[in-house]
Amino acid sequence: MNYTFKENTYTIERYPPTQSKSLKAWNAADEHILNFLEETKTSKKNTVIFNDRFGFLSLFTAQYNPLVVLDYKSQEKALILNFKTNNITFDLPTNNSISKSDKLYELALIKIPKSLDLFRLQLSQIHHSLAESGEVVCGFMTKYFSKQYLSIASEFFEECTQSKAWKKSRVLVLKKKKEVKKKTYLNEIFYSKEKTFKQHFGVFSAKNIDYASQFFMENMDVRMDHNKILDLASGNGVIAYAVQKERPNAEIDLLDDSILALESSKMNIEGDNITFHYNDCLDNFEDQTFDLIVSNPPFHFEHETNIEIALELFKEVKRCLKKGGSFQMVTSNHLNSKTHLYKLFHKVDIVREDLKFVVYNCHS
Ligand SMILES: C[S@@+](CC[C@H](N)C(=O)[O-])C[C@H]1O[C@@H](n2cnc3c(N)ncnc32)[C@H](O)[C@@H]1O
């Protein structure tokens, strides 16, 4: 889809592509940020951008070479794709929400993420690398507004001013840095008396081990002949950890689209047979690589529910499973993944279900 602002028109697509007409590559909060910068004649030199999922803000500020914070492999691919489509050389410097930058920025643009923990982590990073005279322009859709936006922002900044609503979006402008004590932005989650999981702010299931994953781990079937195993969409690594307990000598791969998730899993599981992959698909694996693939797959992205990504992953799971291999996964019971799994796999068993969750074992 094309978007024109001032004299520039860019084509911006989602990656991965979608069949859904309701899922767009930008929303009014992105437009609102651009309009605000234009109306207030804010200089875009020395800018850092957060949560720009498909590159809308990065494209329209590309001439100023902003630092773009990339937290997902799929986000990186979306930006590369959209810059290429628009014939813009991709020489944007990039970073992620936990990497350190000692440069000082004058302007930070942030699409407020669904996870308020992530918002807090990102504001702490911005706070660290913003010049004293700098400002932060946060965009959000009014339907997602939470009072915590203001309370979190005021932990870091003296001045927090909200704009009027425009096309059901607002911007929140933050100025004047407060003194903030250094803190570690890690959550700790109880797993057992011996084990606590650590994860960066913004990683899935911050308060407890996810209930679907607990249900899954009680019902997964890891056998002695499962020697090469993948935890797909591994998050903080909890499922891989449970697998390792049962098969300490197996080779276990963990793969996640989120750098914060993958870096968290490195704090929770270790061993010579463990390999971590930062990716949004299985394209680095040969056909018929794994004896077992386990997963609590993704169906939600920020405020969107999207089954298409999981369905693409399932196709690749099929390709990467050895003959006789097994794909075991858990989902919410209302999602009805069964029909899709039946189309792909030779045999699909429901291992256990309750009112909330269902565990499948799919045989290749
Ligand atoms: C439901 S969570 C499960 C996390 C973890 N296994 C657990 O049980 O706590 C789904 C995970 O999928 C990841 N994810 C989303 N899209 C992905 C993709 N295309 N490829 C791999 N991982 C993805 C998310 O970052 C998230 O960590």
Q: How far is the CA of 154 from the centre of ligand 1 (A)?
A: 31
Q: Is the CB of 265 under 6 A from ligand 1?
A: no
Nearest CA to ligand 1 atom 18: 280
Tell me what pLDDT residue 340 has.
92
Question: To test ligand 1's pocket by mutation, which of 201, 214, 254, 257 has the most ligand atoms within 8 angstroms of CB?
Answer: 257
Residue 327 confidence (pLDDT) above 80? yes
Q: Is the CB of 202 under 6 A from ligand 1?
A: no
Nearest to 295 by CA among 234, 245, 238: 234
CA atoms within 13 A on the CB side of 342: 5
* Alpha-carbon gap, residue 284 to 270, rounded angstroms: 21
Question: For 105-130, what is the mean pLDDT?
Answer: 97
Beta strands 67-69; 94-95: pairing state: parallel
Listed range (92-101, 271-280, 288-297) with the worst mean pLDDT: 92-101
- Confidence band for 100, pLDDT divided at 50, 70 and 90: confident
| pLDDT single digits (tens) 185-229 | 999 999 999 999 999 999 999 999 999 999 999 999 999 999 999
At 96, is the secondary structure helix, strand, or coil? coil
Q: Which two three-digit tokens encode residue 176?
A: 């004047």
Structural domains in the chain plus CATH codes: 2-177 (3.40.50.150), 186-363 (3.40.50.150)
Beta strands 347-353; 169-177: pairing state: unpaired
Tell me what pLDDT residue 182 has.
84
Q: Is the CB of 235 under 6 A from ligand 1?
A: yes
Closest ligand 1 atom, CA of 295?
A: 6
Let me know: does 201 contact 187? Beta carbons within 8 Å. Answer: yes
- Confidence band for 110, pLDDT divided at 50, 70 and 90: very high
Q: How far is the CA of 296 from the centre of ligand 1 (A)?
A: 7
Q: Which two three-digit tokens encode residue 125?
A: 């990073």
Q: How many CB atoms lie within 10 A of CB 167?
A: 13
At 244, is the secondary structure helix, strand, or coil? helix
Closest ligand 1 atom, CA of 212?
A: 8
- Confidence band for 244, pLDDT divided at 50, 70 and 90: very high
